[in-house]
Structure 1
Amino acid sequence: MKMISLLAGVAAVALSATSALASGPIYQGSVTTHGFFGGTTNNAAAVGAADLLQAFNALPGSVALFTIDSSGFAGNTASTSTTNGATFSLQGNVTPDCAYYFGSANTTVDFGVIGINTSDNNPDAAFEMVGGARELDINSNLAGCNTRNTVTFSKTDLSTTNGAGFDPAQFTNVIPVKLVAKYKAGVVGGTSTVSEQTVTLANTGNQASANTHGAWKSSLDMKLTLSNPNKGLLAGDYTGSVGVTIVAF
């Protein structure tokens, strides 16, 4: 009795996953060749040849054949990888913005009549400002900038252009203005806690002062004091100004 050898008696046949399946038969199994290939073999060429011979009934009946036909299976459409993914770049833009809030307030501050001494019996104090110094507070609950910036404060004294002519030892056409501004801001570069900034423009002529800061936001208070020049005031309309400018750079 001739022995017929198969990879049989095994419920499953392991297929290799290390290479893609070709489109068409892959001969994987075993055939008993009775000496052609040294007995029983699972050589793919031998199994394939035996399969073809069986198709033409040319395979001896005593030869057992077991094949696996992969027709209909396709290989991978692209190379495989055990690692995959993507990194997405995110981007946007924030525009620079500087703020100083004063709402719909009138930017013209009218002191009205600036009182003077009109007494007829006091020649030393005649025509001088009375009532002491005048004070004015300008307060905003929001000022600042979202990038590095320069904050500039400026003031011009109240003055009149009356061309009557006068003796500067007795009269003046200028009412001195002092400005003290306070707000909180930090330095340019790096990160730091903001600190109170105080800017003082003395009552000694028209002045300006600039500070540079990193991004900041704060209330901003400006206190103005109109000083008594202790001289007779020349008649006329007096005008001056006080300002704050925040400019990004």
Structure 2
Amino acid sequence: MKIIICDDEPLARERLLRMLTQLGHDVLAQAANGRQAIDLVKQYQPDVILLDMRMPEMSGLECAALLNQLNMPPAMIFCTAFDQYALDAFKAAACDYLLKPVSMDDLKQALDRSMRINQAQLQHIAYSEVMTGASSCRQHIAARTHRGMELIALDDIYYFLADQKYVMVKHKQGQVLIDETLKELEQEFSERFIRIHRNALLSLKYLDGIELIDGGQYQIRCKEIDDRLLISRRHLSSIKERMHVL
């Protein structure tokens, strides 16, 4: 990951730099206060920023508040000697709050957690899509997993499959569950997904063909993956029509 370190103590910055290098991350720049950090974030657009709490000119919390106003704020991890600001840090959308001296294990775990998209980034992406008029619908699906909030690009989704009270999203990086309904997804993404069964929506981008199976039923063949999805009889004709215009 691409990281910026912000701490007014040179020795603290040096120690974090050494650990981050050992963990295989790329430190783009270092700042001695929050004001410098904001300029560096705008310049380098890092994935993560490590923030001290008490610094001259601008504190870590003040810096975090301003970073959250950016279009794509980095994930923020506080590294500080003061434990009394933890609640304020998490209110500022921090991914983690580490007490000095920061251990290698704690730093690694915090960075692993920061790899998922944070809530501030999610809100800004959704807001940007609406305000720029990029599309009349979302370009991403948000899913809450054990890693936190993840954002999945619509272009990377193969299909949606109803699974009891949830919907399973099969995408290029794996699969997740969301608590939206197929009906809502079908209405919103009707130009990009087609209903193939009462429990499934398929991306037209990954529709490869249809196959006849036992009992006179048909199944969908998907591009890039080996999954086969059953087609209900009531949707077969509409699928064939869409295939002719693809």
TM-score over 0.5 for the pair: no
**Larger helix proportion of the pair:** 2
TM-score by length of 1: 0.17
TM-score (norm 2): 0.17
Structure with larger RCO (C-alpha < 8 A, sep 6+): 1
